[in-house]
Amino acid sequence: MKNELYIQNSLTRQKELFQPITDGFIGMYVCGPTVYSDVHIGNCRTFVSFDVIYRYLMHLGYQVRYVRNITDVGHLTDEGEDKMSKGAKLAKLEPMEVAQKYTVGFHDMMKIFNTLPPSIEPRATGHIIEQIDMVQQIIDNGLAYEANGSVYFDTIKFAEEQKVYGQLSGRKIDDLLVETRDNLKNQSEKKHPSDFAIWMRASDDHILRWNSPWSVGFPGWHLECSAMSTKYLGKTFDINGGGNDLKFPHHENEVAQNHGACGCKPANYWVHTNMLEMNGRKMSKSDGNTITPEQLFTGDSPHITKAYSPMVVKFFMLQAHYGSTLDITDKGLQDAEKGYRRLMEANILLQKMEATNGSASELDTEINDLMDKAFQQMSDDFNTPMAMARLFELVSKINSLSAGHLSNNDITNETVDRLKSTFNTFIYDIFGLLDEEIGTGGRNGIADGLMQLIIELRQSARTNKDWGTSDKIRDSLKELEIQVKDGKEGTTWSKS
């Protein structure tokens, strides 16, 4: 039986009870990367957030078709240059070489963060026919016009007929006069400055170009997502999402295009992740206030004092709600590293905990209530920080039980089993975390086997009162920044 799930819908600006279009099946589309450069940490936060959403929907028992596109057709920059072509010229490569290089890099980074692949990952260049067909549908429905080989969406006519343009971003038509991505190009061809291109005639030196009924050209930036989401998820599907910066103009224009072509809205729920800041300020390459995923992993940045593992960075991201601004600081990452290790070490102790045939008690009830709340808070708009907080309340219980400060006789075998299952479900299946540098109970690895041997040798020395050998093992491990902890459930190790 599924929990009731509430989602903050960007379209209505309210938290709504989620009601899938088809019972048991969910269609979710997320705007993927434009593959002209390395994926940045803000992208990583967005895709980690949607990975958790994807994982949790599947945990609830839904069949999810998750579509995330690859944009390998260039957008126009504010200077009117195609990003894919610009990247190709700078690297002296073919555009598809650039696309392939950075698509592979994107996939590698997603594996590093242990995100699940989407169900379908369509490329924009593989769907030019569908985009041309959608342009023709919009023209046939009277909401687009051709001018000098380019085709523009008629925003004023659409706003008058449908009265939904600007609804997603909360902007009025008067505020949209000069805010489209192609606002510096071909303004004289448009009926209104807020009209946006859905097909653009290519100049002679433009690299990426295709034949169409109107000109040799290329599709507008916003069109690809409308065409691909419609093809794979239908005219109207459940969830459409991306970063908050896509709300306008990209998603606003998607809504317009789908209404223009299909006569209906593309999605029932719009979900947007918020921005990343660093040290309380907006990230900016121009003033040096920026950091890459690789710099976080290597520590090669003036903004941090050490390297942080991918799972620590992911854990850090999960400590903020996807819809909240997240501020990267060295102190915040240090605290996340401690929290991540504390969570994983508690799970090691928990999984080793044996049944005690205890009886139901106030402690038993409290532990079950905390587990219930963790799931309830994940069902409240995928609130990872609040669910994590409940897990850490349980971590305190686990540590106290392991140390003997709380009695195992006060919890039932059923509760112990449920607690083990709940921790594994949250850590591995919902949050998508992996064991890193965690001993005894880590999923696999030579290091864990070697450390187990060392721990056994140390225990043997202690049993034989060979304090010299025991101390030497302890001191040598300390020099390697490996911490050994003795507890009621046994000995564990971790990197300091």
Q: Which of 193-207, 255-269, 327-341, 381-395 has the lowest mean pLDDT?
A: 193-207
Tell me which residue of 225, 228, 227, 200 sits closest to 212, measured CA to CA.
200
Tell me which residue of 279, 234, 304, 310 sits closest to 21, measured CA to CA.
234
Detail the DSSP E strand segments found in 148-204. Answer: 150-153, 196-201
Domain boundary among 273, 290, 306: 273
In this predicted structure, what is the pLDDT of residue 4?
93
Which residues does residue 64 pair with via DSSP β-bridges, in sequence order? 26
**Cα–Cα distance between 60 and 70 in angstroms, integer?**
28
**Cα–Cα distance between 81 and 221 in angstroms, integer?**
12
In a shared domain, residues 480 and 349: no
**Cα–Cα distance between 462 and 453 in angstroms, integer?**
14
Does the pLDDT of residue 98 top 60, yes or no? yes
Helix (H) or strand (E) holding 223: helix 223-233
Assigned domain for 417 exists: yes
Q: What share of the chain is helix, strand, coil (3-state, %, to 5)?
A: 45, 15, 35
In a shared domain, residues 424 and 475: no
Assigned domain for 1 exists: no
Does the pLDDT of residue 1 top 70, yes or no? no
Contact 370, 398 (CB under 8 A): no
Instruction: Give 319-350 pLDDT, tens digit per residue.
Output: 999 999 999 999 999 999 999 999 999 999 99
In a shared domain, residues 51 and 131: yes
State the number of CA atoms in the 13 A half-sphere of 185 facing the CB.
23
In a shared domain, residues 302 and 418: yes
2-6, 77-81, 137-141: which is most confident: 137-141
Assigned domain for 391 exists: yes
Range of the domain at 478: 440-495
Does the pLDDT of residue 37 top 60, yes or no? yes
**Residue 25 backbone class (left: φ over 0; alpha: ψ -120 to 50; beta: rest):** beta
Contacts of 237 (CB under 8 A, 6+ apart): 21, 27, 28, 29, 229, 266, 267, 268
Assigned domain for 152 exists: yes
In this predicted structure, what is the pLDDT of residue 78?
39
Mean of pLDDT over the chain = 89
In this predicted structure, what is the pLDDT of residue 200?
94
In this predicted structure, what is the pLDDT of residue 84?
67
Question: Coil, helix or strand for 12?
Answer: coil
In this predicted structure, what is the pLDDT of residue 81?
57
Instruction: Give 389-424 pLDDT, tens digit per residue.
Output: 999 999 999 999 999 999 999 999 999 999 999 999
Contact 237, 29 (CB under 8 A): yes
Assigned domain for 404 exists: yes
In a shared domain, residues 88 and 213: yes
In a shared domain, residues 205 and 68: yes
pLDDT band at 183 (very low <50, low <70, confident <90, very high): very low
In a shared domain, residues 423 and 488: no
DSSP summary character for residue 73: S
Domain holding 193: CATH number?
Answer: 3.40.50.620
Find the radius of gyration of the CA atoms of the chain: 27
In this predicted structure, what is the pLDDT of residue 180?
45
**Cα–Cα distance between 281 and 275 in angstroms, integer?**
11
DSSP letter for each residue of 250-288:
IIHHHHHHHHHHHSS-SEEEEEEE--EEETTEE-BTTTT
Locus of tokens 């609130």: 383
In a shared domain, residues 360 and 463: no
DSSP summary character for residue 410: G
Contact 353, 423 (CB under 8 A): no
**Cα–Cα distance between 213 and 364 in angstroms, integer?**
70
State the burial class of residue 430 (Cβ atoms within 10 Å of its Cβ: 0-12, 13-18, 19+).
buried
Assigned domain for 287 exists: no
In a shared domain, residues 352 and 473: no
Number of structural domains found in the chain: 3
Strands 196-201 and 217-219: antiparallel
Pairwise pLDDT comparison (109 vs 465), residue with the higher score: 109
Q: Which two tokens stand for residue 6?
A: 């509430």
In this predicted structure, what is the pLDDT of residue 184?
43
In this predicted structure, what is the pLDDT of residue 496?
59
In this predicted structure, what is the pLDDT of residue 472?
79
In a shared domain, residues 171 and 218: yes
Assigned domain for 281 exists: no
In a shared domain, residues 342 and 449: no
Tell me which residue of 302, 244, 284, 235 sits closest to 262, measured CA to CA.
235
In a shared domain, residues 474 and 335: no
Assigned domain for 307 exists: yes
